[in-house]
Structure 1
Amino acid sequence: MMGPESPPATEDMESLALSDSVTAGTTATPSSLSSPSPGSASPSSSFIDPPSYAEAVFSPFEPQNDAAGASGSSYRRDSSPRSARAAASNYLLISVSDPESVQETANSLVSGGTTYVTYLINTRIRPAAANDGPSVFSVRRRFRDFVTLAARLAESYRGYFIPQRPDKNVVEGQVMQRNEFVEQRRAELEKYLWRLAEHPVIGRSDELRLFLQAQGKLPLQPITDVASRMLDGAVRLPKQLFGEGAATQVAPEDVVQPATEGRDLLRMFKELKQAVSNGWGGVKPLVVEEDKEFLERKEKMQDLEQQLSTTSQQAEALVKAQQDIGETMGELGMALIKLTKFEIEEATFDSQTMRAADAKRVATAAVKASRLYRELNAQTVKHLATLHDCLGVMLAVEIAFSERASALLTVQTLMSDLSALRARVEKLEVASSRIFGGDQSRLRKVEELKGTIRVTEDAKSCAVREYERIKENNWTELDRLDTEMHDDLLNMLKGFVINQIGYWEKVGNAWTAVEEETSSYFCVSESN
């Protein structure tokens, strides 16, 4: 990083008379690419098609959306693919603003209670009829409500590529300044809500509608913490192991959710056993993943994730290199300014004055180039942040694929249970037939097992339907992702190239002007 300059030198640098009006951009760092700043979190593009490259970089970037600008939202729209998807959603505006600290005294063991932050969410919904005005809603939500929303969406829309909510970042919240952390979280939550709204299915869900419109306390049922779920499962486990009535049966409504939630430890252990048997037992399960095309697409998605990760690292290196060039140019300009000042003060001949004037021109060009590099770096971060967004999507893809594998494992486990139950019934019936009149205790056990088989059959049917539904959702999302990611990456490359060429032309023009202004001096030097 460039070392801090002394105040007089900084004032000289800022007061240089440059030929063009240049606004100093924010110095971008490689970390800002992997964790975009609130300003760079806009889902829209940051360029417009210019009449020439030179005008592109100094034309107004990211024209403000009137609705968003009125509320202070950082969301902007233009002709980018993401803006087109936002225009197709039901929402004209979603803004998260006005963070407010609230004292919580209930259920607190600490004297004075704890403090949490609520955010004001303003929503403007597209009118149903052309003559109707947009509906406007304002609600306050805390981060816990966002966690509840994400959990409910994950339960209801298995197999979809659901945008991931921001992490809690407890450690980061303790390290960062409070205002800085709250502002960063506010921007991340706004971006998260927009991504949900842009999704063709999630954007029209009742869960999102209630979250954005319901006044007062969030009406969605909050999730139960892992410890409580595991405790419930531990209470049920003895009854399941010792076969007390219906406790051993798997309810059909339970199989539509993963066993890893912990409410049914016996089911979780059975599925773990089935997974080990699939991988190490050498016995082929009764049902397997037979969609060869899906397996090929899954492998391609894994390759794409690796390529995105590698490209993201290269993008960070590019940002760092541009930052170093800008800082070096700035240091060169400041050194020449000091040299010019010294030569002017100590000049005794006209040739010394001429050299000082030429050095000042070079210093001016170097400072101007430094500012241009900083602006270029800020624009580079905005464009290449799309890579970070794509990597976030890949996490949602992995979760959706794991849901599919989990649903298949549930079907395999239930089919194995049915095979074992039928084998037990057959064995008991054979043993009972050897006794004249039948063994009544064994016959009663057979009837109990047949009842368990009927319940397990129903559960298997539900599990198969859930598995097929997840498969269909996976394919729908893969087709959508192909189109959207292609458009986003193409848009990113277009904006990146236009800005690179435009800023390099500006830098080249600055040095060309220096060459023209000092050409007479060099001609005199050559003649001597």
Structure 2
Amino acid sequence: MEFGAAGPLGGGQDEPWGPAAPAMDDLDLHDEPPPPYHSVVLQSTVEAPSTSGRQSGSGTYGVPASSEFEIRVTDPVRQGEGVAAYVSYKVLTRTSAPGYRESAEVIRRFRDFTWLQKRLRREYRGVIVPALPEKSVVEKYKMTGEFVEARRAALTVFINRVAAHPILKRSRDLQLFLEASETEFAIEVSRSQVDDPVAVQGAAKKTLSGAVSFLRDLGHTASNLYHKRTDDEEEDAEYLKVRAYVFELERHLGEAHRQAARLVRHQAELGESVREFGAAMASLGRYEESGLVADSFGQLGERAEAVSRLCGESSEGLAASFEAPLKEFVRTVRAVKKVMADRSGALAALQQARSDVDARRQRLAKLRGTPGIREERVAEAERDLADAQQKAEAAKAAYEAIVQQMSGELERFQRERAQEMGYVLRDFALAQAQVSGETARLWASLVPGLAAAAGGGGAGGS
């Protein structure tokens, strides 16, 4: 597995960061701003209006869109009251994918998205399944419009990323999610839970075997320590570098998102402060005796109101096109860590299976060396050893399958995240330049009137 020159998952010189940013002298700050993040997803179009009211027909920040799926999550509706309340969404799909209907409209709720994610993780081990927005009991109880809209946007990103994934888009569960009626979907979900051995055995299995499993795992841990076998010793060195990088990446992305959220709040607070300042200036102007000075105060109030609106729009734009992507990048890194945890679990299972083989082989050798031992006990030990060897082979196959799958997944993660991050940062800089330029233009338009007031309106001031 090869990575860029800047290190594992880093943005090396060969990474596809997109087109070079134009020089500031060549920028037209009045060009159409980039579409909001939630309206476009990598390799998938979403028919939602951009901030300018026009439709976006490309993937996230210039990435070519897929021609197979167009999925929208729309029309959130609150159902029920109190702690039992939930939000339902329309999921609208248009697709040319083989085996699908050309268009479909279904109603889904958050737990249905969660069901799909869990099914995909179970079916495609080693694949980085896109992340869902975090659960929040407090926010769910309050059910504010801002919370519902943020979740709707995040669900749109999730389902489009699943449909754009070269492996996950082939899932039967995805098709069921996108096409089945509410009744059909509920029946299939119930059936899948019955068919799921974990759900069937559930708590009863944990209760009956918990103590035995604990003692067995304790024995395996001691055996592994004795044989000096650890994850790090058996894992590929390049993979360990990537794993360490991903853990650090989560921390730094989390901090970047926190600061982006602060920036959004600051922009909104700045707009409110400018609005209040403008209102104060307009009120002061009404008490001025000099007409020129009074007019200047009035114009100052008008410009401040315009700048305030601009700051408010900028805050909303930052939330959609900068804070939201950073938050989703954090979720995606956590999804990568989830797959890495599955890989570690598969390796631990393999190590335990090997320990079982060693223990049963030693037991068989001991029985064979014991004089007068019954043949039935030897035969039973041989069967136990064969069974342990078979389980070890299955554990090895499961681990190797995850390793093979993850190799391509990590490369795809590196490529897509580097490209999207490049576009997000570029569009952030362009949006900030546009806001700054428009703000400067609004304030500069006051200068001629203020100069005239300063030159001829000194008398009669307050």
TM-score (norm 2): 0.79
Contact conserved, 1:386 with 1:492, CA < 8 A, in 2?
yes
**Is 1:325 the counterpart of 2:270 in the alignment?**
yes
Change (3 A) 1:272 1:363: farther
**Is 1:495 the counterpart of 2:433 in the alignment?**
no
Q: CA deviation at 1:413?
A: 0.4
Equivalents in 2 of 1:411, 1:336: separation in Å?
73
Q: Which letter maps to 1:477?
A: E
**CA deviations over 1:256-304 (Å, ceiling 9, x no partner):** xxxxxx7xx74565345434665xx464128842300100111112222
Residue 470 of structure 1 is matched in structure 2 by: 402
Q: CA deviation at 1:368?
A: 1.6
The alignment yields a C-alpha RMSD, in angstroms, of 3.7
Residue 364 of structure 2 is matched in structure 1 by: 425
Q: CA deviation at 1:84?
A: 4.1
Flag structure 1 segments of 5+ consecutive residues without an equivalent: 1-48, 104-113, 238-261, 433-437
Change (3 A) 1:366 1:115: closer
Q: CA deviation at 1:336?
A: 0.5
Equivalents in 1 of 2:197, 2:87: separation in Å?
21
**CA deviations over 1:426-446 (Å, ceiling 9, x no partner):** 1111113xxxxx432xx2112
**CA deviations over 1:220-254 (Å, ceiling 9, x no partner):** 5025787951312434x4xxxxxxxxxxxxxxxxx
Equivalents in 2 of 1:512, 1:289: separation in Å?
66
Flag structure 2 segments of 5+ consecutive residues without an equivalent: 1-22
Residue 44 of structure 1 is matched in structure 2 by: none
**Is 1:521 the counterpart of 2:445 in the alignment?**
no
**Is 1:353 the counterpart of 2:331 in the alignment?**
no
Residue 33 of structure 1 is matched in structure 2 by: none
Q: Which letter maps to 1:371?
A: R
Q: CA deviation at 1:526?
A: 9.6
**CA deviations over 1:499-528 (Å, ceiling 9, x no partner):** 11111111111111111222233345799x
Equivalents in 1 of 2:271, 2:160: separation in Å?
34
Q: CA deviation at 1:305?
A: 1.6
Change (3 A) 1:206 1:387: same
**CA deviations over 1:83-126 (Å, ceiling 9, x no partner):** 746x32631334454648489xxxxxxxxxx7766544332221
Q: Which letter maps to 1:162?
A: V
Q: Select the residue among 193, 199, 214 that pairs with 2:165.
A: 199
Contact conserved, 1:96 with 1:119, CA < 8 A, in 2?
yes
Residue 373 of structure 2 is matched in structure 1 by: 439
Residue 7 of structure 2 is matched in structure 1 by: none
Residue 155 of structure 2 is matched in structure 1 by: 189
Higher relative contact order (CA 8 A, sep 6+): 1
**CA deviations over 1:346-382 (Å, ceiling 9, x no partner):** x2xxxx2221112222222222212211112221222
Q: CA deviation at 1:182?
A: 5.9
Q: Which letter maps to 1:53?
A: D
Equivalents in 1 of 2:425, 2:206: separation in Å?
51
Residue 132 of structure 2 is matched in structure 1 by: 165
Compare 145-154 and 490-499 and name the one that shifted more: 145-154
Equivalents in 1 of 2:148, 2:258: separation in Å?
28
Compare 445-454 and 411-420 and name the one that shifted more: 445-454
Q: Which letter maps to 2:421?
A: L
Residue 284 of structure 1 is matched in structure 2 by: 228
Residue 5 of structure 1 is matched in structure 2 by: none
**CA deviations over 1:362-418 (Å, ceiling 9, x no partner):** 222222212211112221222212111100101101100000100000010011111
Equivalents in 1 of 2:438, 2:239: separation in Å?
49
**Is 1:395 the counterpart of 2:334 in the alignment?**
yes
Q: Which letter maps to 2:113?
A: F
Equivalents in 1 of 2:200, 2:254: separation in Å?
35
Q: Select the residue among 338, 352, 363 that pairs with 2:301.
A: 363
Map 1:223-372 → 2, pairs under 5 A: 229-235=202-208, 237=209, 266-267=212-213, 269-271=215-217, 273-275=219-221, 278=224, 281=225, 283-285=227-229, 288-343=233-288, 347=289, 352-372=290-310
Equivalents in 1 of 2:287, 2:421: separation in Å?
51
Q: Which letter maps to 2:180?
A: A
Q: CA deviation at 1:481?
A: 0.9
**CA deviations over 1:462-491 (Å, ceiling 9, x no partner):** 111110111112211111011111111111
Q: CA deviation at 1:127?
A: 5.3
Q: Select the residue among 92, 100, 107 that pairs with 1:122.
A: 92
Map 1:62-77 → 2, pairs under 5 A: 68=47, 77=56
Residue 115 of structure 2 is matched in structure 1 by: 148
Q: CA deviation at 1:63?
A: 12
TM-score (norm 1): 0.70
Equivalents in 2 of 1:198, 1:59: separation in Å?
21
Contact conserved, 1:330 with 1:370, CA < 8 A, in 2?
yes
Change (3 A) 1:167 1:61: closer
SS in 2 for 1:54: coil
SS in 2 for 1:160: coil
Contact conserved, 1:118 with 1:140, CA < 8 A, in 2?
yes
Equivalents in 2 of 1:227, 1:383: separation in Å?
43
Equivalents in 1 of 2:95, 2:178: separation in Å?
10
Contact conserved, 1:89 with 1:197, CA < 8 A, in 2?
no
Residue 14 of structure 2 is matched in structure 1 by: none
Equivalents in 1 of 2:327, 2:152: separation in Å?
18
Q: Which letter maps to 1:418?
A: V
Change (3 A) 1:479 1:228: same
Equivalents in 2 of 1:470, 1:100: separation in Å?
40
